[in-house]
Amino acid sequence: MIARARVVAAARSAVDAALDLVLPPTCVACERLLSAPADALVCRLCWARVVPLAAPRCDRCGHPADGHACRWCPLLPPYVRAVRSSCWVSSGTALAIVHALKYGAWTAVAPGMAKRMGRMVFPEDVERERTAIVPVPLARDRERERGYNQSALLGEALATIWRIPMWSDVLQRSRRTETQTRLTPEQRRHNVSGAFRVAAGAGTRLRGAHVIIVDDVVTTAATLNACASALFDGGARIISYATFGRAPAIGDRVETTGELLDGNSRRH
């Protein structure tokens, strides 16, 4: 599937190069003309509008701390060491960037997103121990329709930044699931429960490893937790998560440039 994604990406790059001779490129988020070289087809202004999670943050789950007991850590299984997200994603610029990659086939935005993910600071033991990146797998028919797996594209670029391998073949979907977008937290957990499995023969690599699961956005962590469960049962010693975006939880208040996001905003 990764080889197919590379072929698709190469074909798109050739088409894009030809189109650039006729039509100037535009930012995938704001659609303004790009008058200067852009970072992954996103203009500098739009990258500046992407809002990072506020500090201070929980050392484990990376969620902004409010002086009370962490409300996000209880979502995580005990074998998940740490979670980091580069920015808030609910509406506006960050969501437009995610949609450009996930649904708009703008695969060239993945390296710029991964660059921001590469700046995330994990606990020292995670940075020392991380063995490999594992992208969240898509269902085969969905990846065939899309032509690529956005999580694998992010993972591949992030693996280069962190100088660790990406294991795209150790985790598989055992069944197709509904889209999580319109489901409640309980429905999300049920939807992905048992939906992933470790590939035959992958246990040798996983045994004792600290792997980082990569995805585009995390909301309730249901999908990531289901992946982690399969990897832990398959032999991984410990697991961490890395995502480009995080959807605000109920009660989170996120000041942004020109808008206010909260837990009742449109969720990705």
Query: Is 207 inside a domain boundary?
Result: yes
Query: Is 14 inside a domain boundary?
Result: no
Q: Give the tens place of pLDDT for each residue, 192-231.
A: 666 789 999 999 999 999 999 999 999 989 999 999 999 9
Place of tokens 């995805």: 215
* Coil, helix or strand at residue 225: helix
Residue range of the domain that includes 233: 51-262
Query: Is 6 inside a domain boundary?
Result: no
Exposure of 57 in the CB half-sphere (CA atoms within 13 A): 19
Task: Count structural domains, the chain.
Answer: 1
Six token digits for residue 240 = 């961490």
Rg (CA), the chain: 18
Residues 6+ apart with CB under 8 A from 24: 33, 34
Looking at residue 40, its pLDDT comes to 76
Query: Is 55 inside a domain boundary?
Result: yes
Looking at residue 263, its pLDDT comes to 42
Query: Is 39 inside a domain boundary?
Result: no
Query: Is 31 inside a domain boundary?
Result: no
Write phi, then psi, for 87 (nearest 5 degrees).
-160, 170
Domain containing residue 235: CATH number:
3.40.50
The b-or-e profile of 132-166 (16+ CB within 10 A means b, else e) is: bbbbbbbbeeebeebbbbbbbbbbbbbbeebeeeb
CA distances from 206 to 51, 139, 228 (A): 35, 22, 12
Query: Is 202 inside a domain boundary?
Result: yes
Six token digits for residue 185 = 């937290």
Banded model confidence at residue 127, pLDDT cuts 50, 70, 90: very high
Six token digits for residue 225 = 């937790």
CA distance 215 to 217: 6
Looking at residue 195, its pLDDT comes to 73
N-to-C CA span, the chain: 25
Give helix then strand counts, H and E, for the chain: 10, 8
Task: Let me know: does 64 contact 72? Beta carbons within 8 Å.
Answer: no
Q: Give the tens place of pLDDT for each residue, 143-160.
A: 888 899 999 999 999 999
Task: Let me know: does 221 contact 83? Beta carbons within 8 Å.
Answer: yes
Q: Give the tens place of pLDDT for each residue, 28-84.
A: 999 888 876 667 789 999 999 999 998 899 999 999 987 777 889 999 999 999 999
Task: Let me know: does 216 contact 222? Beta carbons within 8 Å.
Answer: no
Q: Give the tens place of pLDDT for each residue, 171-181.
A: 998 766 666 66
Looking at residue 249, its pLDDT comes to 77
Query: Is 177 inside a domain boundary?
Result: yes
